[in-house]
């Protein structure tokens, strides 16, 4: 049993890759997967999310911005810029200087998720020919046809053992996403086990494809470095250049095991021929999910006086800002976490309908806006008292102006007077110096002369 870190076979040419892809359809009948109920598979698929189409590359990059598995791990397509130090799998860099564009300057194939395991020697001790190599790949892969520009997004499950086996004997490969059984076949003077499945929207599918079909395929959840040994690189789920133990198998089989079996569905014959629990993991993390925000108090209805407004927000990574707004204007200061409560003095707002909402931001800059909570402000306005000016003896216009200046209305009656000149105030009700409600009326008696 061996566990090799060799990388010699990880960079297949484009033509070789295309030849290997075609094997999946004709060999589908040979697959015997670990038993799991269809209802369980459907429930798990329902937890997966495919992101919106990314048009940031010249408006023509039509691949999803990211994919989230049922554990919440969110990955974007791993593409290395031209000339950059590669962090993605070999061949995932744009071929020419300048921004990526479809179909002329984008990798022919790149990965949202890839897990490779390689075993240098897989030899059946009971008569196997010399082992050449063994490689296993589990991936969510994107591809572009450079001629037609057609775009594909598919899950890949590949098990490939070249040499080391006995022609016609049955072998079982147990891997993180299931079990495959089949006999070894003669290829170029050796006995091989070679199966590739491309699932979802694979090369050769009718275009345009529904990329969401990827969510019902088998390469979920994503395998990630476990918490032992080297820390996971920031922003990634592993390192494509370093083999590491992983977690994530839906069956708990976070390894590769090769067994010779007595026949289809049979028992193992002897100990495992080879095993490996180490994988080269590639996957670039992204957060494209906005926070969820809500105003939880007050409830929709009537409010008055000073009201405490409370908002909450949740996010798969973390909320960095939570702001409450009143009629589209910030109310109080934003909080750096959830919940947030601010005081609203409704007497400073007009009676009638008003809208409260919450706006949350996360570390990636995603913004989530709550539904509006509509409230009706209804405050009883207490009358305001003012002191009535004494305007007796003043001209009518001057008297009315002085009353209006303190918020009082005026009404005018006239009477003849032998002592008060025409146009001047003879008397007023209420009297000057009295208290009256602002907006109330002072009645003036104005002289019409003799």
Residue length of the chain: 450
- CB distance 285 to 75 below 8 Å: yes
| Same domain, residue pair 303 and 270 | no
Is 372 a member of any domain? Answer: yes
Predicted confidence at residue 261, as pLDDT, reads 97
Last residue of a domain, one of 361, 377, 393: 377
| Same domain, residue pair 280 and 215 | yes
The tally of CA atoms less than 13 A away on the side-chain side of residue 43 is: 6
Measure the CA–CA gap between 371 and 357, rounded to whole angstroms. Answer: 6
Give, rounded to a whole angstrom, the gap between the first and last alpha carbons of the chain: 130
Measure the CA–CA gap between 1 and 259, rounded to whole angstroms. Answer: 11
SS3 assignment for 304-331: CCEEEEEEEEECCCCEEEEEEEECCEEC
Last residue of a domain, one of 377, 397, 425: 377
| Same domain, residue pair 252 and 397 | no
| Same domain, residue pair 107 and 126 | yes
Is 7 a member of any domain? Answer: no
Measure the CA–CA gap between 252 and 377, rounded to whole angstroms. Answer: 58
Is 2 a member of any domain? Answer: no
Is 99 a member of any domain? Answer: yes
| Same domain, residue pair 356 and 410 | no
pLDDT tens string, the chain, 450 residues long: the values are 333 322 223 333 333 333 333 333 333 333 333 344 455 555 677 889 988 876 444 444 478 889 999 999 999 999 888 888 888 998 889 888 887 777 778 888 999 999 999 998 899 998 877 788 999 999 999 998 877 778 899 999 999 999 999 999 999 999 999 999 999 999 988 999 999 999 999 988 887 788 889 999 999 999 999 999 999 999 999 999 999 999 999 999 999 999 999 999 999 999 999 999 999 999 999 998 999 999 999 999 999 999 999 999 999 888 999 999 999 999 999 999 999 999 999 998 999 999 999 999 998 889 999 999 999 999 987 778 999 999 999 999 999 999 999 999 999 999 999 899 999 999 999 999 999 988 899 999 999 987
CATH number for the domain that contains residue 396: 3.30.10.20
Predicted confidence at residue 54, as pLDDT, reads 60
| Same domain, residue pair 232 and 277 | yes
Domain count within the chain? 3
| Same domain, residue pair 305 and 196 | no
| Same domain, residue pair 275 and 312 | no
Domain that holds residue 222: 14-285
- CB distance 370 to 363 below 8 Å: no
Predicted confidence at residue 39, as pLDDT, reads 54
Residue 247 neighbours by CB under 8 Å, 6+ apart? 223, 224, 226, 254
Is 404 a member of any domain? Answer: yes
| Same domain, residue pair 362 and 421 | no
Predicted confidence at residue 17, as pLDDT, reads 37
| Same domain, residue pair 248 and 267 | yes
Is 242 a member of any domain? Answer: yes
Measure the CA–CA gap between 102 and 107, rounded to whole angstroms. Answer: 9
Predicted confidence at residue 184, as pLDDT, reads 96
| Same domain, residue pair 181 and 330 | no
Residue 217 neighbours by CB under 8 Å, 6+ apart? 154, 155, 199, 200
| Same domain, residue pair 234 and 345 | no
Is 3 a member of any domain? Answer: no
Predicted confidence at residue 271, as pLDDT, reads 95
CATH number for the domain that contains residue 316: 2.60.40.10
Last residue of a domain, one of 264, 285, 306: 285
């Amino acid at each position: 049993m061996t566990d090799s870190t060799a990388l010699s076979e990880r960079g297949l040419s484009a033509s070789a890759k295309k030849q290997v892809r075609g094997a999946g359809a004709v060999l589908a009948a040979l697959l015997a997967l670990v038993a799991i109920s269809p209802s369980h598979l459907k429930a798990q698929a329902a937890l997966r999310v495919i992101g919106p189409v990314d048009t940031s590359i010249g408006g023509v990059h039509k691949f999803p911005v990211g994919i989230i598995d049922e554990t919440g791990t969110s990955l974007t397509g791993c593409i290395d810029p031209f000339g950059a130090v590669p962090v993605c799998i070999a061949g995932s860099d744009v071929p020419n200087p300048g921004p990526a564009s479809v179909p002329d300057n984008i990798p022919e194939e790149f990965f949202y998720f890839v897990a490779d395991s390689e075993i240098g020697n897989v030899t059946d001790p009971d008569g196997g020919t010399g082992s050449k190599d063994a490689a296993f790949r589990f991936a969510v892969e994107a591809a572009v046809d450079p001629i037609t520009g057609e775009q594909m997004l598919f899950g890949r499950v590949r098990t490939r053992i070249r040499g080391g086996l006995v022609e016609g004997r049955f072998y079982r490969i147990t891997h993180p996403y299931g079990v495959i059984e089949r006999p070894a076949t003669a290829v170029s003077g050796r006995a091989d086990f070679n199966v590739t499945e491309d699932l979802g929207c694979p090369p050769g599918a009718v275009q345009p494809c529904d990329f969401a079909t990827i969510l019902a395929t088998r390469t979920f959840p994503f395998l990630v470095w476990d918490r032992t040994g080297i820390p996971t690189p920031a922003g990634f789920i592993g390192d494509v250049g370093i083999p590491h133990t992983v977690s994530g198998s839906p069956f708990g089989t976070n390894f590769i095991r090769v067994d010779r079996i007595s026949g289809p569905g049979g028992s193992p014959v002897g100990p495992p021929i080879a095993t490996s629990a180490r994988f080269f993991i590639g996957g670039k993390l992204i957060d494209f999910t906005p926070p969820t925000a809500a105003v939880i108090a007050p409830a929709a209805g009537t409010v008055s006086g000073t009201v405490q407004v409370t908002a909450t927000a949740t996010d798969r990574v973390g909320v960095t800002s939570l702001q409450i707004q009143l009629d589209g204007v910030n109310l109080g200061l934003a909080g750096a976490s959830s919940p947030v409560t601010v005081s609203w003095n409704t007497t400073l707002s007009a009676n009638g309908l008003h809208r409260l909402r919450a706006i949350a931001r996360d570390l990636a800059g995603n913004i989530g806006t709550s539904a509006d909570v509509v409230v009706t402000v209804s405050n009883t306005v207490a009358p305001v008292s003012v002191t009535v000016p004494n305007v007796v003896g003043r001209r009518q216009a001057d008297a009315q102006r002085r009353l209006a200046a303190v918020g009082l209305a005026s009404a005018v009656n006239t009477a003849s007077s032998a002592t008060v000149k025409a146009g001047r105030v003879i008397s007023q009700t209420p009297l000057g110096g009295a208290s009256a409600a602002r907006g109330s009326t002072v009645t003036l008696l104005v002289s019409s002369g003799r």
